[in-house]
Amino acid sequence: MAIRSPYIDPEIYNRVHKMVLRARAIVEGTIVGQHRSPYHGFSVEFRQHREYAPGDDLRYLDWKVFGRSDRFFLKQYEQETNFIGHILVDLSESMRYGSKPNQTKAEYAKLLAATLSYLILQQRDAVAVGVFTDRVVQYVPPSTNPAHLYRICHVFESTPAAEKTDLGAILGEFASRLRRRGVVIIISDFFDDLDRVLSGLQYLKFNRHDLIAFQILDEFERSFPFRGLIRFEGMEDEGIFRTQPERIRHSYQELFGRFAEGLKAGCERMDVDFQQVLTARPVDAAIREYLARRR
Amino acid sequence: MPFSFLHTGMLWWLAAGAIPIIIHLLNRRRYRPVPWAAMRFLREAIRVNARRIQIEDLILLALRVLVLIFAALAFTLPILKSQLLFFGRQPHVCAVILLDDSYSMNYVDGDLSRFERARTVAREVVGRLNRGDSVSVILMSDRPRRLFREPTFDLDQVRNQLARLECSYAASAAEGALALAREDLAKARQPAHLVCLISDFQKGLLGGAACEALLADLKKNADLVAIPIGEGYDGNLGVVGIETDAGVLAAGIPTVLRARIHNFSQTPQQDYPVELFLDNQRRDRRWVTIPPGGEVDVTFLAEFREAGQHAVEVRIPADSLPTDNARHHVVEVRPKIPILLISGDTAGRGGIGATEYAGMALAPGWLVGELEEDHLSPARVAVGQFRPADLDQYPAVFLVNVATLEADQIAGLERYVREGGGLMIIPGERTDVRFYNENLYRNGEGFLPARITPPGFRTEEGECFLSPDAYDHPALSVFADRSHGDLSQIHFKRTLLVEPPTTASVICKFSTGRPALVERTFGKGRVMLFASGLGRDWSDFIWKPSFLIFMRRVGDYLMRRETAGLNLGVYETATRFIRGGSAATPMTVVHPSGKNDLAELESALGGMRLQYAGVDRPGAYRLITEQQIVGQFAATVDPRESDIGLPPMGLITAPLRIVAPTDVASVTSTGPAGSEFWMTCLKIALALMLIEVLFLLWIERREKRTTVHESV
């Protein structure tokens, strides 16, 4: 029986299923896999072949198979370790914003998280998902079972965006909760105090996680294209402001740009992958762009 | 206040300045709501820009408010009274020129008359006006009139018309002309108003409450300028009146003609010749002495042998004002003058009653049928036989001792008097006082001059005479000279107590203070009521020589109706009834200038009625039909105009800016109207609008420079 979910898009999955998300740092896994393991000296036993994907290490190419079939296959061994991908999704009120109907940042974040989950699961790594606002709202423990994706999607479907955000505190909480080193993917607009955000990332980094930060933005939030007399109503109980946007656009963009630069610079300092994604961009394209850069 | 506004009604538009503020307030409700996530940046951006935006908004609001205020101000046509400001320009002027064309302006100073000088000055004033100014020329006299129907912008045409203007023979008066000026200025579109009076400003020209009120009214919105004309004055003498003793003269009976000569100069005139012309023939010349400012009556004895209308002219030597050096008068001469005596007494059957006394007084030979020596021809009719239709034959009617009248007789007498007839009522013992009060007096509505207090005649208990007052009434003026009789010696036994209303006048009184002779004007005619009877039972009046003179003078006075149409003022319309003839036969009026005009004729009962509106100069006018002179009339000028005086007599207290004729340039200089600066207001509004647009463009351009920040 096919399970339907708005976050399971076969077309997107088809476009991303050959992609591989590798742990860039050394990760601790229960099995030996394609990721660099902190555990050395394990015997290597061939398990299966896997079709080559761009970015794979050429050392593991099976040249014999290539000679017979002209196709690239990698030899996979039981000794390859796996990683746990922790995907943390911000579903605070601010993520509910979308300049177009049905294209909110929250929905985009969920789709991105589900797609990344699929990507991780299909490479036999474990994935855990945490949904947070100013607290952890939902947590799906790690699993490598492909059916785990449905559980994740179910959580997304049942969790609307609500409440305020407190990113610094919540990242600190995750840092204390995720003891095993792995890949931590944070999907948020990061609209919080920059220092608190960076300090939260610092907590995670301190635990030697491989951190990836996806900043989800709506195009309007960046370009601020409004004209006329607008009454802006804060989505996280931040009050109401009446203004003529064109009169303050310059300042807004400057402040917004300064924040984004600060976030990016802070991430770079901490060796955190930072990727700004606009909701107008297809999810698979965003992932491909990131993975290409990550390699 | 340094400002005034020509269109004060437009001041309401200044409230338009509130429109941007109202729009601003209304717009607060028109903000489009947008839920927003990135509030921290928005809040900070607003905080950073709040002051700048507030200042920009205030500047924009101020600019928009000022644009509307200045635009509205421009529509009010503001006038700035300060002359120190550099902006503004001389306003367009509506000039009203009041040019005095009364005949005193014919006074010759040097080689030109005052009117010719005034005309030149008026043309210079018009010449000083600019394109866009309008002019109204009003000829100022007692018959004020506009040269153009409404103020004209064609200044050349005005100058040409002024050059052709001739002085009139009207008298000075400013009230009507000032009222016309006020009408013209009320309709004027120009912001500045100029009222320029060009006159010799005779004494009293601008006097009177009405004139002062008009001047004060004009002064509010106009520059009032007076240009007095007349450099010198060497005096003037004028013939100011011609009178005859009787209104209707009888042919062959010598009559007295009196000419009044007034010396308006400051020097006495001795052996001053005064000439009498009858029908253009010089008949007499007298030499008189006239003191400075004095007036003398020059008496001529004249006799007209033929019945008809005759022209009398009195001339004095030429001086600087030619108009009043001759005066004309037309007299009616009849073979006999019929007077109707309507009798109510019964004395005619044998004895002599009141009617007979009255008739004999008017014509002593009447009772015995010897009327050759008498110019009056009384006709007695008993009241029962009196037919109202016969009244038109008689210039005067006496109602003597009549008890009552029939309704048609009352109506006939009333019509007769209304149309100018003269009626003398002499009551008697038969008079029904109640009937008189109810039917002839009718609470002042009827022709009886006074109400008679019942029961009527009462016997005087003591002595009662006529009061020896000053006799200034024309009918009794002859008794001012006691040699003609002393009325105060007449002893009355019975008198009538009468109560004249305010519309009647008491000509003379009894020594008791009660009215003795009362007169009232009724329509065009006159009615007199004598408060006693005629006969030995009433008084000894009938035995006195003064009785004859009294009756004849009253008869003559009442007959003035016949002369009313013979002597007119200049510019009056001549109306004459001519017995016989046909309206189809053309009648020519020979004008004093020698030109012939056709008179308008219309058929009337028993003849035709003539109307002639071309009486525009003093002199004798002859009526000619079928080469026969059928009548004459004379036109005379107002003698008050001869009193020219030293100029400018009438300007002493008037609120006018006096400008010399040689300084016409200063007439059109900036007056109290100030400078018109609606154009400046409009320019300021446009400039502010431009600044507002540029300011908006600057803001927009600055905002366009803001590009989307390309972050990571």
| Secondary structure letter of residue A227 according to DSSP | -
Whether B329 and B343 map to the same domain: the answer is no
Cα–Cα distance for residue pair A284/A240, rounded to 1 Å: 36
Cα–Cα distance for residue pair A85/A20, rounded to 1 Å: 12
Contact B39 A239 (CB under 8 A): yes
Mutation target to probe the B interface, by most B beta carbons within 10 A, among A255, A277, A281 is A255
Q: Which helix (H) or strand (E) holds B418?
A: helix B407-418
Cα–Cα distance for residue pair A285/A262, rounded to 1 Å: 25
Whether B406 and B540 map to the same domain: the answer is yes
Which residues in chain B are contacts of A233 at CB distance < 8 A? 33-36
C-alpha distance from A9 to closest chain B C-alpha (Å): 27
A230 bridge partner residues? A243, B32
Domains: count for chain B: 5
Structure tokens at B112: 């030109």
What is the number of alpha carbons within 13 Å of residue A184 lying toward its C-beta?
A: 28
Q: Tell me which residue range forms the domain holding B20.
A: 3-86+677-704
Q: Do residues B424 and B554 lie in contact, with contact meaning Cβ atoms separated by under 8 Å? A: yes
Predicted confidence at residue A23, as pLDDT, reads 58
The reply to whether A276 touches chain B by the CB within 8 Å rule is: yes
Residue B523 maps to a domain: yes
The reply to whether A256 touches chain B by the CB within 8 Å rule is: yes
Contact B37 A248 (CB under 8 A): no
Predicted confidence at residue B649, as pLDDT, reads 54
The reply to whether A223 touches chain B by the CB within 8 Å rule is: yes
Predicted confidence at residue A129, as pLDDT, reads 92
Sign, CA torsion B77/B79/B85/B91: positive
pLDDT at B332 over 50: yes
Q: Give the domain CATH number at B171.
A: 3.40.50.410
| Secondary structure letter of residue B635 according to DSSP | E
pLDDT at B194 over 50: yes
Whether B145 and B207 map to the same domain: the answer is yes
Percent helix / strand / coil, chain A, rounded to 5 = 40, 25, 35
Predicted confidence at residue A75, as pLDDT, reads 78
Structure tokens at B190: 């120009």
pLDDT at B105 over 80: yes
Residue B17 maps to a domain: yes
Residue B251 DSSP SS3 = coil
Predicted confidence at residue B710, as pLDDT, reads 37
Predicted confidence at residue A78, as pLDDT, reads 47
* pLDDT, tens digit (0-9, with 9 covering 90-100), for B555-577: 888 875 555 678 888 998 888 77
| Secondary structure letter of residue B510 according to DSSP | B
Phi-psi region of B26 (alpha: psi -120 to 50; beta: other; left: phi over 0): alpha
* pLDDT, tens digit (0-9, with 9 covering 90-100), for B524-538: 889 999 999 988 888
C-alpha distance from A171 to closest chain B C-alpha (Å): 20
The reply to whether B29 touches chain A by the CB within 8 Å rule is: no
Whether B317 and B398 map to the same domain: the answer is no
Identity of the residue numbered A222? R
Which residues in chain B are contacts of A104 at CB distance < 8 A? none
pLDDT band at B654 (very low <50, low <70, confident <90, very high): low
Residue B711 maps to a domain: no
C-alpha distance from A172 to closest chain B C-alpha (Å): 22
* H helix runs in chain A, sequence order: 10-16, 63-69, 105-122, 148-158, 167-177, 194-206, 219-223, 245-269, 283-294
Q: Which of A234, A248, A261 sits opposite B39 (nearest CB)?
A: A234
Predicted confidence at residue A41, as pLDDT, reads 29
Structure tokens at B87: 């902006």
Residue B712 maps to a domain: no
What is the number of alpha carbons within 13 Å of residue B159 lying toward its C-beta?
A: 12
The reply to whether B709 touches chain A by the CB within 8 Å rule is: yes
Phi-psi region of B110 (alpha: psi -120 to 50; beta: other; left: phi over 0): left
Which residues in chain B are contacts of A263 at CB distance < 8 A? 712
Q: How far apart are the two ends of chain A, measured CA to CA in Å? A: 37
Q: Give the domain CATH number at B531.
A: 3.40.50.880
Q: Which of A105, A232, A247 sits opposite B53 (nearest CB)?
A: A247
Predicted confidence at residue B325, as pLDDT, reads 93
Structure tokens at B44: 């900070």
Instruction: Average the pLDDT over A44-62 and give the result.
Output: 73
* pLDDT, tens digit (0-9, with 9 covering 90-100), for B345-403: 765 445 678 888 999 888 887 777 766 667 788 998 999 999 988 888 888 999 999 99
Instruction: Average the pLDDT over B609-629 and give the result.
Output: 88
pLDDT band at A1 (very low <50, low <70, confident <90, very high): very low
Instruction: Average the pLDDT over B108-123 and give the result.
Output: 90
Question: Cα–chain-centroid distance for residue A136?
Answer: 17
Identity of the residue numbered B536? R
Q: What is the DSSP string of B300-323?
A: EEE---S-EEEEEEEE----S-GG
Which residues in chain B are contacts of A252 at CB distance < 8 A? 41-42, 45
Predicted confidence at residue A217, as pLDDT, reads 94
Q: Give the domain CATH number at B282.
A: 2.60.40.10
Least confident window among A16-20, A149-153, B224-228, B406-410: A16-20
Which domains are assigned to chain A? 32-81 (no CATH), 83-294 (3.40.50.410)
* H helix runs in B522-663, sequence order: 545-558
| Secondary structure letter of residue A104 according to DSSP | -
Q: Judge if the upstream peptide bond of residue A146 is cis by omega within 30 degrees of 0.
A: no
Percent helix / strand / coil, chain B, rounded to 5 = 30, 30, 35
Residue B308 maps to a domain: yes
Of B532, B563, B594, which marks where a domain is finished? B563
Q: Do residues A216 and A279 lie in contact, with contact meaning Cβ atoms separated by under 8 Å? A: yes
Predicted confidence at residue B676, as pLDDT, reads 66
Predicted confidence at residue B253, as pLDDT, reads 80
Question: Cα–chain-centroid distance for residue B437?
Answer: 36
Contacts (Cβ under 8 Å, ≥6 apart) of B103: B167, B168, B169, B170, B171, B321, B323, B324, B637, B641
Cα–Cα distance for residue pair B544/B585, rounded to 1 Å: 52
C-alpha pair distances (Å), B504 with each of B307, B444, B470: 35, 9, 19
Structure tokens at B349: 């059957």
From A128, A96, A121, select the one nearest A109 (Cα to Cα): A96
pLDDT band at B679 (very low <50, low <70, confident <90, very high): confident
Cα–Cα distance for residue pair A81/B278, rounded to 1 Å: 160
pLDDT band at B84 (very low <50, low <70, confident <90, very high): very low
Residue B450 maps to a domain: yes
Cα–Cα distance for residue pair B276/B242, rounded to 1 Å: 11
Whether B475 and B621 map to the same domain: the answer is no
pLDDT at A200 over 60: yes
Of B563, B593, B608, which marks where a domain is finished? B563
Q: Which residues of B420-442 are buried (b: 16+ CB within 10 A; e: fewer)?
A: bbbbbbbbbbbbbbeebbeebbe
Whether B435 and B291 map to the same domain: the answer is no
pLDDT band at B674 (very low <50, low <70, confident <90, very high): low
C-alpha pair distances (Å), A225 with each of A148, A247, B30, B241: 41, 11, 19, 102
Cα–Cα distance for residue pair A256/A244, rounded to 1 Å: 17
Whether B290 and B173 map to the same domain: the answer is no
Higher pLDDT, B583 or B146: B146
Q: Which helix (H) or strand (E) holds B39?
A: helix B39-75
Residue B710 maps to a domain: no
Whether B255 and B369 map to the same domain: the answer is no
Whether B497 and B517 map to the same domain: the answer is yes
* Residue whose structure tokens are 């590798």: A22
Predicted confidence at residue A43, as pLDDT, reads 34
B89 bridge partner residues? B676
Instruction: Average the pLDDT over B404-410 and give the result.
Output: 93
Q: What is the ipTM of this complex?
A: 0.78
Predicted confidence at residue A40, as pLDDT, reads 34
Predicted confidence at residue B513, as pLDDT, reads 86
- Pairing outcome for strands B112-113 and B108-109: antiparallel
* pLDDT, tens digit (0-9, with 9 covering 90-100), for B195-209: 999 998 887 788 788
Q: Do residues B166 and B147 lie in contact, with contact meaning Cβ atoms separated by under 8 Å? A: no
* pLDDT, tens digit (0-9, with 9 covering 90-100), for A183-194: 899 999 998 889
| Secondary structure letter of residue A172 according to DSSP | H
* B384 phi and psi angles, rounded to 5 deg: -70, -30
pLDDT band at B89 (very low <50, low <70, confident <90, very high): low
* pLDDT, tens digit (0-9, with 9 covering 90-100), for A120-135: 888 888 889 999 988 8
Whether B556 and B615 map to the same domain: the answer is no
Contact A246 B56 (CB under 8 A): no
Whether B521 and B376 map to the same domain: the answer is yes
Structure tokens at A253: 């963009």
Which residues in chain A are contacts of B45 at CB distance < 8 A? 248, 251-252, 255
Q: Which residues of B57-95 are buried (b: 16+ CB within 10 A; e: fewer)?
A: eeebeebbbbbbbbbbbbbbbbbbeeeeeeebeebbbbb
pLDDT band at A25 (very low <50, low <70, confident <90, very high): low
Cα–Cα distance for residue pair B105/B117, rounded to 1 Å: 9
Of B563, B589, B609, which marks where a domain is finished? B563
* pLDDT, tens digit (0-9, with 9 covering 90-100), for B129-146: 888 889 999 999 988 999
Q: Within 10 Å of residue A102's Cβ, how many Cβ atoms? A: 7
Q: Which of B34, B41, B706 sits opposite A230 (nearest CB)?
A: B34
* pLDDT, tens digit (0-9, with 9 covering 90-100), for B223-268: 889 898 887 777 889 999 998 866 677 788 888 899 999 998 888 9
* H helix runs in B99-139, sequence order: 114-127
Residue B343 DSSP SS3 = strand
Sign, CA torsion B262/B263/B268/B272: negative
Identity of the residue numbered B54? Q
pLDDT at B614 over 60: yes
Structure tokens at B284: 């007499």
Predicted confidence at residue A262, as pLDDT, reads 94
According to the per-residue pLDDT averaged within each range, which of A2-6, A207-211, B275-279, B455-459 is highest?
B275-279
| Secondary structure letter of residue B707 according to DSSP | P
| Secondary structure letter of residue A196 according to DSSP | H
Question: Cα–chain-centroid distance for residue B97?
Answer: 20
Q: How many Å is the Cα radius of gyration of chain A? A: 20
Whether B229 and B245 map to the same domain: the answer is no
Largest CA distance in chain B: 152
Predicted confidence at residue B286, as pLDDT, reads 92
pLDDT band at B690 (very low <50, low <70, confident <90, very high): very high
Q: ∠ CA(A126), CA(A132), CA(A134), 5° rounding?
A: 150
Q: Do residues A248 and A226 lie in contact, with contact meaning Cβ atoms separated by under 8 Å? A: no
From A86, A95, A91, A106, select the one nearest A213 (Cα to Cα): A86
Residue B572 maps to a domain: yes
Contacts (Cβ under 8 Å, ≥6 apart) of B60: B692, B695, B696
Judging by beta carbons within 10 Å of its beta carbon (0-12, 13-18, 19+), is residue B266 exposed, middle or buried?
exposed
pLDDT band at B499 (very low <50, low <70, confident <90, very high): very high
Structure tokens at B50: 């709040």
The reply to whether B37 touches chain A by the CB within 8 Å rule is: yes
Query: Taking all residues of chain A, what is their mean pLDDT, rounded to a whole number?
Result: 81
pLDDT band at B672 (very low <50, low <70, confident <90, very high): very low
pLDDT at A21 over 90: no
Instruction: Average the pLDDT over B642-658 and give the result.
Output: 68
pLDDT at A46 over 70: no
Least confident window among B252-256, B301-305, B700-704: B700-704
B226 bridge partner residues? B197, B658
C-alpha pair distances (Å), B252 with each of B255, B395, B527, B551: 9, 19, 29, 21
Least confident window among A87-91, A113-117, A275-279, B306-310: B306-310
- In chain A, the residue whose alpha carbon lies closest to the alpha carbon of B37 is A94
Percent of chain B with pLDDT over 90: 32
Least confident window among A10-24, A241-255, B48-62, B249-263: A10-24
